[in-house]
Amino acid sequence: MQTPALIDRGTESYQATFDAMRAFTAARDAGTRDELWIVEHPPVYTLGLGADAGHVLDAHGIPVIQTDRGGEVTYHGPGQVVLYLLMDLRRRRGARLFAREFVHTIEQSVVNTLRAYNLAGERKAGAPGIYMADGSFKGAKIAALGLKIRGNGCTYHGVSLNVAMDLAPFSWINPCGYEGLQTVDMKTAGVEVPLPEVQQALARNLIDLITA
């Protein structure tokens, strides 16, 4: 399988990235190379297709944008790794890579990245994303995931990992639709590391898994 191109878009508004993802996916053909986009967003709340806007308790002036990904409400902001996966799932080993396996692979890339910094992450059945597996923050969510998979097998949207953020905006929503869900970042969990380092580490782990 060809290695996806890794594109660092720097800091970019969510709307600009969202528009670019849809345009890229609409224009691609059977020969278009898959891409992984690294982005850091200014503060924004995003809603999945079936999201209940009531889970935004008080936006405090932060923009709220309706998207076409799966899932509920989430927050993106400075100090967070965001990776978008613009991929054709039909290419993997000559057969379709089904959504559940793809989600599992993305989650595993986060677990592997956290492990490299001596943090233990785990999945929760029926609740996509990664949660702290032990310690004083056990059960707190540290990574969120939401995808759009078109009928032709092409994907966009992706995964976010909290590195060193202002966590207050998470308390102004019911994260992923769960009232009272604690959210944490790597810094709060005791690991201080530059954002670009984690961006590259997560991207490498993800590429290793999806090209295996």
- The CATH number given to whatever domain includes residue 192 is 3.30.930.10
Residue 127, pLDDT score: 86
Query: What distance in Å separates the CA atoms of residue 160 and residue 162, rounded to the nearest whole number?
Result: 7
Stretch 46-60: mean pLDDT: 96
Confidence of residue 93 (pLDDT cuts 50, 70, 90): low
Q: Which of 49, 47, 149 is nearest to 103 (CA)?
A: 149
Q: Is pLDDT above 80 for 63?
A: yes
**pLDDT tens digits, 165-191:** 999 999 999 998 989 999 999 999 999
Confidence of residue 75 (pLDDT cuts 50, 70, 90): very high
Query: What distance in Å separates the CA atoms of residue 78 and residue 82, rounded to the nearest whole number?
Result: 10
Longest CA–CA span in the chain (Å) reads 48
Question: Annotated active-site positions, please?
Answer: 176
Q: Provide the residue range defining the domain that includes 63.
A: 5-210
The two structure tokens encoding residue 104: 């599992």
**pLDDT tens digits, 191-207:** 999 999 999 999 999 99
Query: What distance in Å separates the CA atoms of residue 155 and residue 69, rounded to the nearest whole number?
Result: 10
The count of structural domains within the chain is 1
